[in-house]
Structure 1
């Protein structure tokens, strides 16, 4: 199969593009970073430099494709709404329209962050009512992107992987490592908080199943096992050689302080990312597990990496 992967110079896109190439597919990766593009080429992935906001950069590549994995996104808890609209909503809409017009299979990567403001936390199904409130601009933009994709391409597959991690992660582990190294991260809960994460290879596996099969609809994806957030933070602190968070400050107080920092950042002409965001605090203090019944039944998904393996691998790669 000839597969076009957007965001191929990113963490998830790069891992998945390489996995698809190893499986014998002809893969073309789109991205902006020429250095990472060269690395993709050396691993058997054809690379094209492209700005996804400019359809002229990527539309010709669809003529040589059977399917598209849209993994590119503005994935951050902070930013300008106009940028989220342009990169997450508008680009997704145009890619979905172009794929539908050409009869191409489309797998779109979304996020379970869309559930964060629903009040649900245990075995959340894909059918959970979402909106109109969201806990971040990112979550809102990704949900609106889903609506655009399903409207333009009803046969598309949408994956919602929770908390993507692994060796090479540029988001979760680096952010937590910076917070621990700063020595300013307090203990936000008295007990433990259990959540689910998804190893990047498990997301790549789910994406491959969707690309090789035919299963329209929305699917949750996780490692299928819960992870204790604060015990994991302690293990990360030990690997970094820094002190574990000890001083307890109620999460509600820290979240309120984060809102003040966010307001100050919004009023600043440069709108710099604050050192703390309310949605970031909630990720460390609120449990979340997802219902995997649909992805198991329709895609035949089962994790290829389990959390104890994946997190151990990540911690081994951490440098003090």
Structure 2
């Protein structure tokens, strides 16, 4: 397949491009800069210069491809409403490009906010509906478009998609530890996160693209529940720093933006995903990755 990938040089996107190319697919990646274009083409993929803000720059790439994987997100934490507007416009443009083709569209989402009090299941619909909801409700928007002749698939990622080079949540926790001189956890540290190695997440995307049915929700979850205190303890050991509890009222100041998430339990089951696709994670676990130096400064 010729696969159009947004976020093609991002953390998950880069691994996904590698996975697709290694398995015989062609990749057309959306890039915003000359540097990203060079990075992508060096792998043997093709670059399309454009931006999520301007759907006209990628409409042809989406419509002419055999499949679309939408991983890009502006992640402007200072302007979440603006993020959502961009996401909504981009997904609407992709749906218009794919309508009536039966081609697959893989759209990214997270586990946060799916359910409360237990691990999220693939059978749980996202409560985010409409443009004023989280991510402008784009998971439901895409899945609801199945009757339009689109094989829409949602992939929900664990809060930690980890590995060496990760610039996501665990990297931010490590940065906060270096900055403050302590590796912290919030409250009693009983909140828990799911986790998955980035190469396992990329393989799941490829398997979903190749074989998941229309309307499927897939969970990129290798480890279902890791206590946040355990994450802090591993970071403390890896960085040579003491470990301490942080009062919830001080979390935002201590951790920055990631403090909002580190105090939450964000977990999901991947039992149905594994059964449906035969996906079995093989990468290292999060604690193993941390202790092996994935988040230390070389």
Q: TM-score, normalised by structure 1?
A: 0.79
- What is the deviation of 1:119? 2.4
- What is the deviation of 1:297? 2.2
- What is the deviation of 1:74? 2.8
User: Which residue of the partner structure matches residue 88 of structure 1?
Assistant: 87
Equivalent residue runs for 1:269-284 within 5 Å:
276-277=256-257, 280-284=258-262
- What is the deviation of 1:36? 2.5
Equivalent residue runs for 1:1-320 within 5 Å:
1-75=1-75, 78-115=77-114, 118-120=115-117, 122-128=118-124, 130-131=126-127, 140-142=133-135, 144-154=137-147, 155-163=151-159, 164-183=161-180, 186-190=184-188, 192-216=190-214, 217-241=216-240, 243-246=241-244, 248-251=245-248, 253-254=249-250, 258=252, 276-277=256-257, 280-307=258-285, 311-312=289-290, 315-316=293-294, 318-319=296-297
Corresponding pairs, count: 291
Gaps of 5+ in 1: 262-273
Q: Return closer, same or farther for 1:64/1:304 CA change in 2, 3 Å cut-off.
A: farther
Q: What secondary structure sits across from 1:156 in the alignment?
A: strand
2:5–2:70 CA contact under 8 A, matched in 1: yes
Q: Larger helix proportion, structure 1 or 2?
A: 1
Q: What secondary structure sits across from 1:197 in the alignment?
A: strand
2:4–2:65 CA contact under 8 A, matched in 1: yes
Cα distance in structure 2, aligned partners of 1:132 and 1:63: 27
Cα distance in structure 1, aligned partners of 2:168 and 2:266: 19
- What is the deviation of 1:92? 1.4
Q: TM-score, normalised by structure 2?
A: 0.85
User: Which residue of the partner structure matches residue 267 of structure 1?
Assistant: none
- What is the deviation of 1:37? 2.1
Q: Return closer, same or farther for 1:157/1:314 CA change in 2, 3 Å cut-off.
A: farther
Q: What secondary structure sits across from 1:29 in the alignment?
A: strand
2:195–2:222 CA contact under 8 A, matched in 1: yes
Gaps of 5+ in 2: none
1:69-106 C-alpha deviation (Å, 9 max, x unpaired): 11112336x23244122222221122122122443211
2:128–2:137 CA contact under 8 A, matched in 1: no
Q: What secondary structure sits across from 1:28 in the alignment?
A: strand
Q: Return closer, same or farther for 1:316/1:60 CA change in 2, 3 Å cut-off.
A: closer
- What is the deviation of 1:58? 1.1
